Structure 1
């Protein structure tokens, strides 16, 4: 993604949904690869507590790999892989940490 800086910062605050319409969370920050000049992840807060039940507590955020993003508009759509977290699939899981801030 070769987005201009204003485009990257405009992601903050947008809601993230799976392509099946399930609310995932709200973008709090972005993870950047400065050498490649690309976005590599989205740090989410205000998570869907049902979706992440048993995985994160109220003060924890997650970082989703940017390759899961399908579309960016008024909201961000990601692959439905997030809904299959507890199936034991071999897909890469989101990173879970005490702070979603990553830059």
Structure 2
């Protein structure tokens, strides 16, 4: 397995899925902290309209925190938190345990 560093631009164009396999969007850009030289967010476009329809702001993308990223390969996997957006939109409440 090649673990050599990759250029940040190699992320652009990759599809983003939740760890449950739901398409979230496509990476259009990355957000960097130039002082620490660390990626701290991913700018997504071509969004899954079902996930973000209630959060429509008239814009065509969102920035998700890089801390949500679980794995980077041919696609990028993120925590299922974005799917919870859809659940709260539909009025579903998590059952109290």
Question: How many residues are treated as equivalent by the alignment?
Answer: 85
TM-score (normalised: structure 1):
0.75
Answer whether contact 2:16 2:23 (CA < 8 A) is retained.
yes
SS class of match (1:53) = helix
TM-score (normalised: structure 2):
0.79
Q: Which residue of 2 aligns with 1:8?
A: 8
Q: Which runs of 5+ in 2 are unaligned?
A: 90-97
Following TM superposition, by how much is the alpha carbon of 1:87 offset from its aligned partner in structure 2, in angstroms? 3.1
Q: Which residue of 2 aligns with 1:98?
A: none
Instruction: Give a deviation string over 1:56-94, Cα, whole Å, max 9, x none.
Output: 267421000000000000000000011112539xxxxxx
* Bigger CA radius of gyration: 2
SS class of match (2:67) = helix
Q: Which runs of 5+ in 1 are unaligned?
A: 89-103
Q: Which residue of 2 aligns with 1:96?
A: none
Misfit runs of 4+, over 4 Å: none
Which structure features the higher share of helix residues? 2
> Which of structures 1 and 2 has the larger relative contact order (alpha carbons within 8 angstroms, sep 6+)?
1
Matches within 5 A, 1:47-62: 47-56=47-56, 59-62=59-62
Instruction: Give a deviation string over 1:28-68, Cα, whole Å, max 9, x none.
Output: 00000000110000000000001111212674210000000
